Amino acid sequence: MKTIPIADVSTLKNELNKYKKGKKLEIPRFNQLARMAYLGRLVMAPLDPEDPACTAYLVHVQELTGLAAHFIELDEDLIDGILILDGEQAMAMADIMQKGVEDRARWHEELNQRDFYFSSFYRPKDRSE
């Protein structure tokens, strides 16, 4: 947990302005967070929805479950953590989340229309007999 020593009001204002802008992630951490976004494991909310100058987002990383938990590797501090992300990277995460939802929806639609019977039971006879 980060503490902000309050020595004077200007120091406090500077620290608050840093939070309003959010933080850019480095490439490896961005990729980890993007994987979680694609799987729909992020919850995002504007940091200060009443301040139009504040572009940062709060991002909660939900813990992975099931099969994904065995394959996706995350830094320990990202698991069930909350980040303050800058607006540009937050919008990129939102786009990645949308892509993941669209891909999963398409997969489910295709699965619903797939005919397993013929591929499992129909075997054409060899015509050379």
3-state DSSP of the chain: CCCCCCCCHHHHHHHHHHHHHCECCCHHHHHHHHHHHHCCCEEEEECCCCCCCCCCEEEEECCCCHHHHHHCCCCHHHCCCEEEECHHHHHHHHHHHHHHHHHHHHHHHHHHHCCHHHHHHCCCCCCCC
- pTM here? 0.79
How far from each other are the two terminal CA atoms of the chain, in whole angstroms? Answer: 77
Encode the chain (129 residues) as per-residue pLDDT tens digits. 566 666 777 777 777 777 788 889 999 999 999 999 999 999 999 999 998 888 999 999 999 999 999 999 999 988 888 999 999 999 999 999 999 999 999 999 999 999 888 888 877 777 665
What was the pLDDT predicted at 128?
Answer: 63
**Domain spans, the chain:** 22-115
φ and ψ of 58, to 5 deg: -85, 130
What was the pLDDT predicted at 63?
Answer: 93
Residue of 67, 62, 93, 66 whose CA lies nearest to 79: 62
Cβ atoms of 36 and 8 within 8 Å: the answer is: no
